[in-house]
């Protein structure tokens, strides 16, 4: 359990999180008709400063998700970032934080449709450290396929779509693995249950195109930026399942998982069985950049206080 203490932004105003409630008749609760984001802020203990990471990119994606679902969000990206800063300040956080904005069909309704319903926007935040270990992940290629663009669009971060991710990750956990990698309907690699994937092959970083039914990850973009700054060659192309087995290095990236090294896929050891050289270098830069410690990537973050 989680005490639900702190302050939330609920449909236009800051309120105690414990009071931010919706009815069981809410359309989004019944049909999964919402979209959301997951954003992190990192506490820099030396500076006693909290840094909000890439909120603008997350809100641009949220507006795209909402557009696909025909949900109106009554704020611009700049206003959403400002509300997020206000929410963080109101909670006086002095730790790493996870922020969860939600936009949803808020009317009570029994109706399988998207039209004629009130839209609402709310968000809450909570302290959060590492969501999964960042080293030594053992993963399974799931028997669950990633949902595709003509079913529930993967590039929209849709609340109801996380049944697909939850089925895959639950299966992986019960089978003794840390995470699931899902294949797209065409059999190529898509992504993990809540993160994107990179592999390293002969010094080249490889990731799938955005048309592989992935969520268009903000962290994926940051990894591509780090790769460019470090002159690491990048290939964006379809990935076969067995390339996961033969990769020199393999890692997941996402707001929640951060950068997490995979050491085993379907009982095959990846590379030398530890965190690879390129993965380790990218991790080290990522974890400094998100706390505002690398001048070259200072524009990734906004100081909260």
Interaction site with ligand PMP (CB under 6 A): 38, 165, 191, 194-196, 215, 217-220, 254-256
Structure tokens at 61: 């994606």
Q: State in angstroms the smallest separation of the CB of 202 from ligand PMP.
A: 26
Structure tokens at 288: 């400094």
Q: CA–CA separation, 193 vs 170, rounded Å?
A: 10
Q: Closer CB to ligand PMP, residue 109 or residue 301?
A: 301
Q: CA–CA separation, 286 vs 255, rounded Å?
A: 11
Q: State in angstroms the smallest separation of the CB of 33 from ligand PMP.
A: 18
Q: Closer CB to ligand PMP, residue 109 or residue 168?
A: 168
Q: CA–CA separation, 54 vs 75, rounded Å?
A: 17
Q: Closer CB to ligand PMP, residue 26 or residue 219?
A: 219
Q: State in angstroms the smallest separation of the CB of 301 from ligand PMP.
A: 15
Q: Closer CB to ligand PMP, residue 157 or residue 291?
A: 157
Q: State in angstroms the smallest separation of the CB of 24 from ligand PMP.
A: 25
Which residues lie below 8 Å from residue 86, measured CB to CB, with a gap of 6+? 9, 14
Q: State in angstroms the smallest separation of the CB of 16 from ligand PMP.
A: 27
Structure tokens at 149: 């663009």
Q: Closer CB to ligand PMP, residue 159 or residue 255?
A: 255
Q: State in angstroms the smallest separation of the CB of 89 from ligand PMP.
A: 23
Contact 252, 133 (CB under 8 A): no
Distances (CA, A) of 200 to 53, 186, 233: 26, 23, 10
Q: Closer CB to ligand PMP, residue 38 or residue 108?
A: 38
């Amino acid at each position: 359990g989680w005490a639900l203490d702190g302050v939330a932004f609920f449909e236009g105003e800051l309120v105690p999180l414990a009071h931010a409630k919706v009815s069981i008749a809410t359309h989004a609760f019944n049909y999964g008709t919402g979209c959301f984001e997951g954003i992190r802020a990192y506490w820099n203990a030396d500076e006693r400063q909290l840094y909000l990471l890439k909120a603008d990119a997350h809100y641009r994606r949220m507006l795209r998700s909402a557009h696909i679902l025909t949900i109106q969000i009554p704020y611009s990206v700049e206003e959403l970032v400002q509300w997020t800063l206000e929410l963080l300040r109101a909670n006086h956080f002095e730790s790493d934080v996870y922020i969860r904005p939600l936009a949803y069909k808020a009317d009570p309704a029994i109706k399988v449709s998207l039209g004629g319903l009130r839209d609402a926007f709310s968000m809450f935040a909570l302290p959060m450290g590492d969501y999964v270990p960042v080293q030594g992940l053992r993963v399974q290629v799931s028997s669950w396929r990633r949902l595709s663009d003509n079913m529930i669009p993967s590039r929209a971060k849709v609340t109801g779509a996380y049944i697909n991710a939850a089925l895959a990750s639950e299966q992986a956990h019960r089978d003794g693995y840390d995470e699931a990698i899902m294949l797209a309907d065409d059999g190529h690699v898509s992504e993990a249950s809540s993160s994107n994937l990179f592999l390293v092959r002969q010094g080249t970083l490889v990731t799938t195109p955005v048309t592989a039914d992935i969520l268009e990850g903000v962290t994926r973009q940051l990894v591509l930026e780090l790769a460019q700054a470090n002159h690491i060659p990048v290939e964006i192309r379809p990935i076969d399942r067995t390339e996961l087995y033969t990769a020199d290095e393999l890692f997941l990236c996402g707001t929640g998982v951060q950068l997490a090294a995979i050491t085993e896929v379907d009982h095959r050891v990846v590379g030398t069985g530890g965190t690879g050289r390129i993965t380790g270098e990218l991790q080290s830069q990522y974890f400094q950049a998100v706390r505002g410690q690398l001048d070259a990537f200072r524009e990734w973050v906004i100081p909260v206080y």
